[in-house]
Structure 1
Amino acid sequence: MPDPTEGVLRAVPEGSLSLSKAEADGILEIAFLAIAADRKLHDEELVAFRAVAGRLRQLSGSAAAPTVSDRDFELILERFGPDLDREVAEEHLRARGAELTRPEARKLAYKVAYALALCDLETSDEEFEFDLQLIDALALTTEEADALEDEVLDAFQDIPE
């Protein structure tokens, strides 16, 4: 099986966009909500999420290297992890979506979330519902979401096993 983390990072290339710290934090929380949508945190999702956290730090200028220490990763999970309740998660999603005012940041948030959703190679009704909520929270059209999904799927092509 191809390395899903590689696909996720290809969907969010280095230097692809400069982000503010607030944008990076918002995208990171949306990313967490994406992997938690089915109420299960799979190992491959957590590995890819950690890599995304490092990449977002780079894009926001917070770190030169895309590594996230074990302690920093624990802090990130503690910050986002306690509230996996569906209603609370939807409130957070809507709030983070509203905070992302630049179209580029909203599109990147969708790409990151969609890419992370592919990591466990499973689909669920909860993930499908989350995707619809995410499109709405980010004020994307169906056509925009479809185009972004195509970009992510292209990024996953030809990944060595």
Structure 2
Amino acid sequence: MPAEIITPETIIPKTVTPETVVAEARGWLGVPWRHQGRSRSGIDCVGLVVCVAHALHLSDYDSTGYSRRAQGQGFVEHFRANMDGVAIPDACPGDVLVFADQAYPCHCGFLTERLGYPHLLHAHATRRQVIEEPYAGEWPDKIKFAFRFRQSGS
């Protein structure tokens, strides 16, 4: 039986940086929007967060069965259970922002940066695809929560 080769990668888990999270999320740009989608043939805002987390081995959690209409705080409870909350002013590129339309949280996306300005990378239902746009206009008024992925083993 061959001896197992031990390398630093097998002993020390790879640290996922905010840059790694943003790069993985950007790999989904242009993917069509599809409610509850979880693949490159179609994805929604939650699916984008789930797929990035899975690809980077940050979480194996997923939740489906949600409606397109926000009802109560259930949408945000999944983030609270699986990510660390961050004060909104302390959010950094790679963090997940959660937005509300009217009363309830109903949308999420990744905070990114381009040319020194904050941007939002998200699966946009109206635009029918994953986009990255300036974090401006309606978005700052709609933000309700910010979350950060937990590192493996933390």
TM-score (structure 2 length as normaliser): 0.31
Say which structure is richer in strand.
2
TM-score (structure 1 length as normaliser): 0.30
Q: Greater CA radius of gyration, 1 or 2?
A: 2
Say which structure is richer in helix.
1
